Chains A and B, each alone.
Chain A
Amino acid sequence: MVATMGRLGTRVSEHLVKWISRDSDQSSDAAIADSPDSVAPAQDEPDASPYPASAVNWSDLVARIQRGDDSGMEDLYLLFSKGIRYYLCRQLGAQELEDKIHDTFLIVVQAIRRGDLREPDRLMGFVRTVVRRQVAAHIDRVVHSRREEMHLDVGVRIPDFHRNPEQSTAFRQKVDLMREVLQKLSDRDREILTRFYLHEQCQEAICADMNLTETQFRLLKSRAKARFGELGRRKLQQKSMGAFFLRTSPGAMH
């Protein structure tokens, strides 16, 4: 496995070893407090997940981390860093992202070394638990600090999805296209989408209220999305928009 990691693995390992050694001497209260004492009980089979993502020998990976083998940390980092970064960024935004990723890995590695992970096959669930707790702890801290310092406009930082003028313009263009799609729908179909997306009513309630089958509901949504993608491809050839619409086209879905 390490052989396939190549140069990247070495670089990542150095980085991660530095991280771990930076904090290993400290008895990190936060890490202990945040560490999941018990991971969710193992399900009947780890591969029972409806969405298996990779075939990893979790026992071997955990054993290598426990005995301090750098390759274990490399593999852990390579497996999870992107996903952890993605999850944290989606939930909390990009601010202090590297520190949060570092803290998450630190907690995971320390917990594994302490033997807190009782079932290696549950490593994915363990990492998920740590990341979710990181997010919750961050929100708690921000809320707490806001209460303490009401005079400052701290507030929970909601990820800013449209940070620059170019992105704002692209968003407005997409909204215009979607309006065009909506305006061509019947009143009834438009109402269905409005209930779902704007009023956030659940599918079951909408179907019951409007006498729809689940299939009709799904078809309406997917047709609207497909139409949106078609319009986008037809009208917008700009690079930034083009990439978006190509990815939202029905053919790109899996």
Chain B
Amino acid sequence: MNKRSNRHVPEDVLERYAMGRLSGEECEPVEEHLLLCAVCQRSLEQTDEYIRVAQAATAIVAHDSPNRTNTIAIPIWAAAAR
């Protein structure tokens, strides 16, 4: 069970995975890798958190922006972060 040099999942692929934007075919190798790779598990945790932060922040900024053309309702989870 020797570990050989891992080929980690690239950051942009992890981000698309976290956002549910990978096809089933693309998901398969990512999820199999995640079952075994602690490094990518940690990266995905960070990616998940970054996405949540970015979603909340963009929602708030879009809502507060005086130039906005559309009314953007702030989701509850973003409002909670205000």
Binding site for B on A (CB under 8 A): 1, 4, 40, 49-57, 75, 79-80, 82-84, 86-87, 90, 124-125, 127-128, 131-132, 161, 168, 171-172, 174-175, 178-179, 181-183, 187, 190, 193-194, 197-198, 200, 202, 218, 224-225, 228, 244, 247-248, 253-254
Contacts and interface: CB of A to CB of B under 8 A. Distances in A.
A178 B1 contact: no
Nearest to A183: B61
B39 A175 contact: no
Closest A-B pairs by Cβ, 3 of them: A83-B35, A178-B57, A53-B36
A4 B80 CA distance: 48
Contacts of A53: 6, 32-33, 35-37
Contacts of A244: 46, 49
Contacts of A190: 58, 61
B18 to A, nearest CB: 9
Given A1-B1, A179-B57, A198 B32 contact: no
A1 B2 CA distance: 8
Interface residues of A, dominant DSSP: helix
25 contacts: A49-B32, A51-B7, A51-B33, A53-B36, A54-B4, A57-B1, A83-B35, A83-B41, A125-B32, A127-B35, A128-B31, A161-B48, A161-B49, A174-B53, A175-B53, A175-B56, A178-B54, A179-B60, A183-B61, A194-B58, A247-B46, A248-B46, A248-B49, A248-B50, A254-B11
Given A175-B56, A254-B39, A182 B34 contact: no
A182 B61 CA distance: 8
A229 B51 CA distance: 13
A198 B34 contact: no
Given A171-B52, A244-B49, 15 more contacts: A51-B6, A51-B8, A51-B29, A52-B33, A53-B37, A57-B1, A84-B35, A131-B35, A132-B31, A175-B53, A178-B54, A244-B46, A248-B49, A254-B8, A254-B11
Contact of B81 (A82, A175, A193, A254): A175
Interface of B: 1-4, 6-9, 11-12, 19, 21, 28-44, 46, 48-62, 67, 72, 78, 80-82
Contacts, number: 141
A86 B34 contact: yes
A72 to B, nearest CB: 12
Contact of A128 (B7, B28, B41): B28
A202 B51 CA distance: 14
Nearest to A1: B1
A242 to B, nearest CB: 13
Contacts of A225: 50
Given A51-B29, A161-B52, A124 B62 contact: no
Contacts of B40: 51
A182 B81 contact: no
B53 A171 contact: yes
B43 A49 contact: no
Nearest to B74: A198
B45 to A, nearest CB: 8
